[in-house]
């Protein structure tokens, strides 16, 4: 009790000590509120989702094929205007060179969907990121976003995450040209912009207390090539729309079902370095990613790493550009050209069979036979 002065039945604390205690109490209260307090929402408004609404539901990860609802029409609109990139930036970014001592990486997750299928939503991966407050970038196909509207809204409204353009239907841009090439890129932009407008129309609040759509950008500024494959023509088209093309320098290999969790963990940890951009999937083809990701994150954090969105990582150092797209060695994704041409024939046939004469957009079952389709990464090597 030394240092306190008692007068009558009350205790008096010296002014300097009182100030210190007040500041300490304020700091502790602020820290506690930052972690646990409910967001402040104006009276008369509502939260967009409950905690249960955001939580992954078993079965959402499943991929559906031969589904009549698979064919989706893009919004009938033009994308918002953007400033074309300068010609020296119309290349693909593989990683970022950071200042000495800075250990930051970007986790990226592809959400792609081809014309004939409805892919999944691996919300167990998303739930893990939210629980541990880990920032991430999701490269979403326009068709995937429209097939998963509520989950897309949730990702858009979460300040931990950002969305990038992964084309409309995950078609290989190396074999497209002219308006077909442009539309494949534009339609993902318009799908995102349409969904953001519908989110704004709900006038509800995200879990962090912000109006939901205010947590998202008005248009997409990042882009990822399907199959990790590009050429000069597609790089020019992407740059003309003001999109920065983002590749990766570390692929988890998660589209291959045969890759064991422990092997994925070992490979990712061995190749990750400061400024790395790491590729995963969260569309039902991220096999074993939910089981591998917690260990990858735990070990990287133990090594002193933190996580950033891709857009944030780009601001921390010098992007490392490449004039061509590849996975681990130059030219390795060019091998998808032959498969892509077979897929285009299949897609065309499937679209024709999905359209009844004179009736736009009425789907019927698609052909049973189709080419075996690898996703981005190493699946073709492993099969």
Residue 44 is predicted with a pLDDT of 58
In the chain, what is the straight-line distance between the N-terminal and C-terminal CA atoms, in Å?
75
Q: Is residue 30 part of a domain?
A: no
Q: pTM score, two decimals?
A: 0.84
Angle ∠(257,230,73) on CA atoms, nearest 5: 75
Q: Is 372 part of any domain?
A: no
Burial string for 248-285 (b: 16+ CB within 10 Å, else e) reads bbbbbbbbbeebebeebbebbeeebebbbbbbbbbbbb
- Domain assignment present for residue 260? The answer is yes
Q: Into how many domains does the chain fold?
A: 1
Domain holding 311: CATH number? Answer: 3.20.20.370
pLDDT at 371: 54
Q: What is the dihedral of CA 152, 157, 160, 165, to 10 degrees?
A: 40
What's the chain's average pLDDT?
85
Asked if the structure places residue 351 within a domain, the reply is no
| Beta-carbon-side half-sphere exposure of residue 374 (alpha carbons within 13 Å) | 21
Q: Does residue 27 form part of some domain? A: no
Summarised one tens digit per residue, pLDDT across range 240-256 is 999 999 999 999 999 99
CB atoms within 10 A of CB 84: 13
Q: Is residue 176 part of a domain?
A: yes
Return the structure tokens found at 281: 């999937």
Tell me how far apart the alpha carbons of residues 356 and 353 are, in angstroms, rounded to a whole number.
Answer: 7
**Assigned domain for 129 exists:** yes
Q: Which domain holds residue 165?
A: 55-336
Please give the C-alpha separations between residue 32 and each of 36, 128, 328, 349, in angstroms, as whole numbers.
6, 21, 44, 58
Model confidence over 120-179: pLDDT tens digits? 999 999 999 999 999 999 999 999 999 999 999 999 999 999 999 999 999 999 999 999
150 falls within a domain: yes
């Amino acid at each position: 009790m030394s240092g306190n002065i008692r007068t009558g039945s009350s205790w008096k604390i010296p002014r300097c000590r009182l100030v210190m205690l007040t500041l300490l109490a304020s700091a502790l209260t602020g820290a506690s509120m930052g972690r646990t307090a409910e967001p402040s929402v104006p009276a008369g408004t509502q939260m967009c989702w409950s905690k249960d609404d955001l939580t992954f539901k078993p079965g959402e990860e499943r991929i559906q094929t031969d589904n009549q609802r698979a064919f989706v029409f893009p919004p009938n609109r033009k994308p918002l205007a953007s400033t074309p990139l300068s010609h020296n930036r119309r290349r693909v970014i593989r990683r970022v060179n950071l200042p000495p001592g800075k250990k930051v990486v970007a986790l990226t997750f592809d959400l792609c969907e081809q014309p004939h299928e409805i892919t999944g939503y691996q919300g167990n991966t998303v739930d893990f990121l939210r629980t541990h407050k880990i920032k991430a970038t999701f490269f979403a196909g326009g068709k995937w976003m429209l097939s998963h509207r509520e989950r897309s809204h949730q990702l858009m409204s979460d300040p931990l995450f950002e969305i990038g353009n992964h084309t409309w239907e995950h078609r290989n841009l190396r074999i497209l040209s002219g308006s077909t090439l442009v539309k494949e890129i534009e339609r993902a932009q318009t799908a995102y912009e349409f969904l953001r407008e519908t989110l704004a129309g709900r006038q509800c609040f995200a879990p962090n207390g912000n109006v939901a759509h205010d947590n998202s950008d008005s248009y997409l500024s990042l882009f990822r090539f399907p199959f990790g494959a590009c050429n000069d023509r597609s790089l020019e088209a992407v740059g003309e729309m003001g999109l920065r093309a983002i590749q990766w320098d570390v692929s988890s290999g998660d589209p291959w079902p045969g890759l064991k969790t422990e092997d994925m963990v070992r490979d990712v940890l061995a190749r990750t370095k400061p400024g790395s951009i790491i590729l995963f999937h969260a569309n039902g083809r991220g096999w074993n990613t939910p089981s591998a990701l917690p260990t990858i994150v735990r070990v990287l954090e133990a090594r002193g790493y933190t996580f950033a969105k891709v857009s944030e990582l780009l601001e921390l150092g010098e992007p490392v550009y490449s004039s061509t797209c590849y996975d681990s060695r130059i030219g390795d994704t060019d091998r998808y050209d032959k498969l892509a041409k077979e897929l285009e024939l299949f897609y065309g046939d499937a679209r024709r069979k999905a359209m009844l004469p004179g009736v736009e957009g009425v789907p019927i079952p698609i052909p049973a036979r189709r080419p075996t389709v690898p996703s981005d990464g190493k699946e073709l090597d492993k099969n």
